[in-house]
Each structure stands twice: as structure tokens, then as C-alpha cells.
A = this chain, B = another copy of it.
Amino acid sequence: MDHKKAVVLVSGGLDSATALAIAADQGFVCHCLAFDYGQRHRSELNASKRISAELNAAAHKLVKLDLQAIGGSALTDISIDVPESDLVVEDSGGIPITYVPARNTIFLSIALGWAEVLGATDIFIGVNAVDYSGYPDCRPEYIAAFEAMANLATRASVEGQCFNIHTPLISMTKQEIIKRGLTLGVDYGLTVSCYQATESGLACGRCDSCQLRKQGFSAAGVIDPTRYK
């Protein structure tokens, strides 16, 4: 088995925990990256650390980045309410207001920088084009374009190495993600998906993210280990 290093974006949610388990299962030595970007609650950062330790990651790094400075999302701008209904609140373009402008691009860029420092050329991100079809930066064509850009941006690329942006969940349903993670031993009780969780990680059960997650466990036919308020 090839023990290559990989940088894995681990937000603390269900999807990224599964992406981490898949990277580890593929034999990568995982270097986990999380961002303190002004999100509404810090419990997902605690979850990110716990999950990384549980899945035997080689490192966990937290990078501070003030995305509140640019605003524009319900997840970073406290003047915008997080939607709590069956209807995802969308702006005129059909994009949820929980979309954070250019977030995946910013996170992948910093992952690219750390990968370069580590001498790694593999980056894992748990994006999903099924549940998050409204997010432009969850689409396969976007990921392909990022990879092409990364392969011109870096020292490694000048030296002829190629970056691979792995998106193992991109075409999976929530149900499939959960089933895959369970076979790999992911403890989803450690993960926090809620957009407005309490500091201790209790989920609201009502926001879009909670609803998608609930439906996933239900469809997978397994007990939902989420700790609700």
C-alpha cells in the first residue's frame, strides 16, 4: 500500500468525516485541515478535531480566516437568518442563502498551499453535487477547473507533479454516504452538521442541513446518532 500524504478538508460534518475515512481507507496519511472562518458556532471545529483523532489522522490544523469580513452568507453574517423550513430559502438565482461566497475555492486554495509545504499532491474534499446541487462550487466541472488551475499555481506543478482533488462523495446520496461511512467505522455521533448547533454540539433538527441529515439516516435504515436539542 502506498502511504502518500494527503490534505483532507474536515469541517466536522457528516460528509467530510466520510471523505476522511475514505482517504484513510485508500492508504493516505491524512493531514486534516479545518477553518475558523467566523461561522456561527464552534462546535463543528471541536467535532473536526475529534473525528480526525478518531480516524487516526497524522495531523490536524486549524487555520483562522475572517470570512465575516466579506459577509454575504447566512452562515457568516448574523444579520441573515438561517432558514428553518422544508423549503430551502433561495435567492433569485436558485442558490441557498447558506452558500458562502467562494468558500470551497478559498478552502481548497489554502489546502493547496499546505499540500505544497507538506510535499503532498492529493487533496480530499467532501463536496456533494446531489444534496448541494444549488451550490456552484460543489459541481464536478468546478472541481475539474480548480484542479487544472492548481496544476499551474504551484512549485510542484513547475516540477512536473500533478495535483489530484479527490471528491469521493460527489455523486453519492446522503444515504449512500452514511452507509459507506458506517462500513469504514465512522462514528457519526461525533459529527456536527447543524447550521446553528449549540456550543456543545446539540443540533436544532430544523435547518436544511439537519433535515438532509435526518432523511439520510432514515433512508439508510440506521439509527440517527445525532444529539438534538
Contacts and interface: CB of A to CB of B under 8 A. Distances in A.
Interface of A: 61-67, 69-72, 91, 93-95, 99-106, 108-110, 112-114, 116-117, 136-137, 139, 141-142, 145-146, 148-155, 157-159
**In the A-B complex, the 7 residue pairs with the closest CB atoms:** A102-B113, A72-B117, A101-B116, A145-B149, A101-B113, A142-B152, A70-B114
Contacts of A106: 106, 109-110, 113
Given A93-B159, A95-B158, A159-B93, A153 B71 contact: no
A102 B112 contact: yes
A165 B155 CA distance: 21
A109 to B, nearest CB: 4
Interface residue SS majority, chain A: helix
A184 B14 CA distance: 53
- Stoichiometry, as copies per complex, reads 2
A141 B157 CA distance: 12
A45 B116 CA distance: 26
A58 B82 CA distance: 30
11 contacts: A64-B65, A101-B154, A105-B109, A105-B149, A106-B110, A136-B155, A137-B153, A142-B149, A146-B153, A148-B149, A149-B149
B105 A113 contact: yes
Contacts of A141: 152
